[in-house]
Amino acid sequence: MEVSEFEDLLDLHGGDLARWPAAARAQAEALLAASPQARRLHDDMLAVETVLRCTPAPSAGADAIAARATRHRQETPARRLALRAGWAVAAMIVLAVGLSVGAHAPVERDVSPARMMASALDGGVADVE
């Protein structure tokens, strides 16, 4: 028996070799005597089984546990709409804040478009008229 086969059987039958089929048990015992890697895998399985035995069972019924185990987010048209609406609301808030700030900012009404362009290009106010 190879270590990989032993590992598969360990996952299938557990760490208690008495529960294994007789032929597989005999091969597993021989492998455990010869392979430190197999012994480490077996010890790990026994430790996991001990923890599982000592862990209290959840208080919910079997149906509730099954429902929780299979629950996952599902992509539905309503969920897609809610996600898009969330971004739309955020964009509207940003727009409203921008309009509010722009409405209350002082505006120079006597600045010509040419002066604004020159100011933007030169980095300062230029006399262009």
Q: Is the pTM of this model over 0.75?
A: no
For 71-86, give the secondary structure using H, E and C: CCCCCCHHHHHHHHHH
**Type of residue numbered 100:** S
Contacts of 102 (CB under 8 A, 6+ apart): none
pLDDT of residue 126: 47
> What's the pLDDT at 121?
77
Taking CA atoms, 100 is separated from 49, 94, 106, in Å, by: 64, 10, 12
Residues of the chain under the 70 pLDDT cut:
58-60, 72-75, 105-111, 123-129
Across 98-127, b (16+ Cβ under 10 Å) vs e yields eeeeeeeeeeeeeeeeebeebeeeeeeeee
For residues 17 and 28, is the Cβ–Cβ distance under 8 A? Answer: yes
Report the alpha-carbon distance of residue 10 to residue 6 in Å, rounded: 6
